[in-house]
Structure 1
Amino acid sequence: MSNAKVNKLSDGLNENLFEFAEFDDKEAQRAGYSNYSYWRSTWQVFIRNKVALFLLVLMTVLILFTIIQPYLPDQKLPTKIYIDSKTNMQLRNHPPDSEFWFGTNSIGQDLWSRIWSGTRTSLLIGIAVGIWEAIAGIMIGALWGYVRVLDRPITEIYNVLDNIPVTIILILMTYIMRPSLSTMIIAMCMTGWLGMARFVRNLIVIIRDREYNLASKCLGTPTGRIITKNLLPYLVSVIMLRMALAIPAAIGYEVFLTYIGLGLPVSIPSLGNLINEGRALMMVKSLRYQLIFPAIVLSMVTISFYVMGNVFADAADPRNHV
């Protein structure tokens, strides 16, 4: 448009309808600012699920209670055998009452304190194994999937370990080493990382050759940075799901080993020990409480972690973000 036409057009406009906007550097920067946060958005999606939020509160209260329970007033020792003041004999199979809230077992130990002590032990095993599975599984799986030269040797190692049944490894470890808490954790950690590593490897193989990863590699971006910045953020949801499921799975293995007589010694209370003791009494109606109480606590822990893991995996998916 020529200058004459522009001047003619501007003469016909009412200048009172317009005002010049001055440039403001701070306002210009604010216009491009976004307060989006991935983890805040994930949390907002997570708390929308009322069941998962309730279970999160429940697990938080349960874990905190198991930690502070020994320090509360009027708490009994989990390994002490209590004597009946009338008969001077062991207070065996005493039903729940105001003094023994969950009753006593077959040798006169307080079930209330033993259940919470056993919950601490089982949660410690589950969390320790879950953390190791996450660290080792993610690191090995990421290198396995992205660094092509490592694919064959890691695959051979995986095939050897994966073809040995986990139960056999757990049984052999408990035979070789003295039955203890550390033995249980080491035995589970030996093969616990295999599933996570294989899972991460398969997902990374799918996305490693996408354009932005190839561009980063051509620009000289280090391998570690490509893995941590380009690849792993896409896998957050599924990794968190696997971690959440690893905790109840480890507790399940502990219960199984105790069931076959290769778990923790009786002197170390655990949910596996308590359920194994209650299982022998389940046919006696008056003594079923010795199985019901630890089974309820175990069910609460496993179901809660399973549900929260699934909901968090969905919430961590960017497609579900607000």
Structure 2
Amino acid sequence: MGSKTIDKLSDNINQNLFEFAEYDDEAAKRAGYSNYSYWRSTWQVFTQNKVAVFLLFLIIGLLIFTAIQPFLPNQKSPTKIYIDEKTKMQLRNHKPDSEFWFGTNSIGQDLWARIWSGTRTSLSIGILVGLWEAVVGIIIGAMWGYVRSLDRPITEIYNVINNIPTTIILILLTYIMRPGLSTMIFAMCMTGWLGMARFVRNLIVIIRDREYNLASRCLGTPTRRIVTKNLLPYLVSVIMLRIALAVPAAIGYEVFLTYIGLGLPVSIPSLGNLINEGRALMMVPSLRYQLIFPAVVLSVITISFYVMGNAFADSADPRNHV
């Protein structure tokens, strides 16, 4: 077949089968544009879980109500002891009615006011300890896992602190410091970051030597930028789950410490104190309300954070995004 025949066939193919398009700069820009947003997609996936959304609004409402409860009308003091006008004695174990919505405890204090005051105390402990665990644990864990020169010294510090029982630390701090809210928060913060740091460190060790991180190091990218841009975004889902679970874990730990006698003083209402007081009366059917009410509030808080944490962890995984 001659060259003229080939050129003729090429002209026929070009004219019959193809339509040449001119370059359009605006169309090229539109083709390269994506309106994908990580956090918007995370929220869209999260809102598909109706139970998690309901619990989110429930917790938000609980936080708001707990904060404004003392300023609402007809609210009683959580520490005041009320006197029976007939007997002129303490209004002990008064059953719930229109005046005392949750009844009174064994010394005549209003249980409604004490429960919400205790909820504020326990949520303060949980949120502060959870934030400390998140910030300190993530920072130390990221440096521990990525900077090889820090692996041995941080490991030794971790082993020393982790091998000392937390209850021993709390007992020592009780003798050194004055028992109270700040002492408990300080003691929990001293050991609360260990689990998060170890968790983040193990995850970063797995992904630190992947190709994109090696390329970043070869290009001279600073360590801080590699950690914040290359490593931590891949761990958002699991980190958020740990943070969400840290709040109810701290509250539960406060309840446990109160149960064994190392918690807050009785003068400071907390869910731990209230449950411990109600536990002593649980065998008396007419007084079980003193255990049921604080136990329900504690259960709502812990279950809500657990469900929301799991739902948000799934939502934050980019593989679940559309």
Tell me the equivalent position of 1:207.
207
Write the deviation string for residues 271-302 of structure 1: whole angstroms up to 9, x where unpaired. 01111111111111111100110000001111
Cα distance change of structure 1 residues 185 and 11 upon mapping to structure 2, 3 Å threshold = closer
Q: Output the CA distance in 1 between the equivalents of 2:15 and 2:110.
A: 96
Tell me the equivalent position of 2:253.
253
Q: Output the CA distance in 2 between the equivalents of 1:95 and 1:11.
A: 94
Q: Output the CA distance in 2 between the equivalents of 1:54 and 1:191.
A: 33
Tell me the equivalent position of 1:134.
134
CA displacement at 1:174 relative to structure 2: 2.2
Write the deviation string for residues 146-165 of structure 1: whole angstroms up to 9, x where unpaired. 00000000011111111111
Is 1:73 the counterpart of 2:73 in the alignment?
yes
Tell me the equivalent position of 1:63.
63
User: What percentage of aligned pairs have identical amino acids?
Assistant: 81
Write the deviation string for residues 128-182 of structure 1: whole angstroms up to 9, x where unpaired. 0000000110000000000000000001111111111122212222232111111
Partner amino acid, structure 2, of 1:59: I
Q: Output the CA distance in 1 between the equivalents of 2:110 and 2:285.
A: 19
Q: Output the CA distance in 1 between the equivalents of 2:27 and 2:166.
A: 61
Partner amino acid, structure 1, of 2:178: R
Tell me the equivalent position of 2:94.
94
Q: Output the CA distance in 1 between the equivalents of 2:318 and 2:204.
A: 18
Q: Output the CA distance in 1 between the equivalents of 2:12 and 2:312.
A: 64
**Partner of 2:85: helix, strand, or coil?**
coil
CA displacement at 1:5 relative to structure 2: 5.0
Write the deviation string for residues 4-24 of structure 1: whole angstroms up to 9, x where unpaired. 5555667779xxxx8x86654
Tell me the equivalent position of 2:274.
274
Write the deviation string for residues 224-274 of structure 1: whole angstroms up to 9, x where unpaired. 000000000011111011111111111111111111222111221100111
Is 1:85 the counterpart of 2:89 in the alignment?
no
Tell me the equivalent position of 1:302.
302
Q: Output the CA distance in 2 between the equivalents of 1:221 and 1:50.
A: 42
CA displacement at 1:25 relative to structure 2: 2.9
Q: Output the CA distance in 2 between the equivalents of 1:175 and 1:289.
A: 35
Q: Which moved more, 1:84-93 or 1:128-137?
A: 84-93
Q: Could you list the runs of 5+ residues in structure 2 that have no partner in the other structure?
A: none
Tell me the equivalent position of 1:231.
231
Partner amino acid, structure 2, of 1:48: Q
Q: Output the CA distance in 2 between the equivalents of 1:142 and 1:264.
A: 34
Q: Output the CA distance in 1 between the equivalents of 2:16 and 2:63.
A: 76
Cα distance change of structure 1 residues 207 and 89 upon mapping to structure 2, 3 Å threshold = same
Tell me the equivalent position of 2:124.
124
Tell me the equivalent position of 1:181.
181
Q: Output the CA distance in 1 between the equivalents of 2:151 and 2:166.
A: 23
CA displacement at 1:314 relative to structure 2: 1.3
Cα distance change of structure 1 residues 260 and 59 upon mapping to structure 2, 3 Å threshold = same
Is 1:164 the counterpart of 2:167 in the alignment?
no
Q: Could you list the runs of 5+ residues in structure 1 that have no partner in the other structure?
A: none
Write the deviation string for residues 193-235 of structure 1: whole angstroms up to 9, x where unpaired. 0011011101101100001000000000000000000000011
CA displacement at 1:27 relative to structure 2: 3.2
Q: Output the CA distance in 1 between the equivalents of 2:316 and 2:16.
A: 57
Q: Output the CA distance in 1 between the equivalents of 2:15 and 2:260.
A: 97
Cα distance change of structure 1 residues 22 and 101 upon mapping to structure 2, 3 Å threshold = same
CA displacement at 1:120 relative to structure 2: 0.6
Tell me the equivalent position of 2:143.
143
Is 1:105 the counterpart of 2:70 in the alignment?
no
Question: RMSD of the alignment, in Å?
Answer: 1.9
**Partner of 1:201: helix, strand, or coil?**
helix
Total equivalences in the alignment? 318
Tell me the equivalent position of 1:28.
28
Is 1:191 the counterpart of 2:162 in the alignment?
no
Cα distance change of structure 1 residues 57 and 8 upon mapping to structure 2, 3 Å threshold = closer
TM-score calculated relative to the size of structure 2: 0.94
Q: Output the CA distance in 2 between the equivalents of 1:169 and 1:55.
A: 35
Tell me the equivalent position of 1:50.
50
Partner amino acid, structure 2, of 1:283: M
Q: Output the CA distance in 1 between the equivalents of 2:294 and 2:221.
A: 52
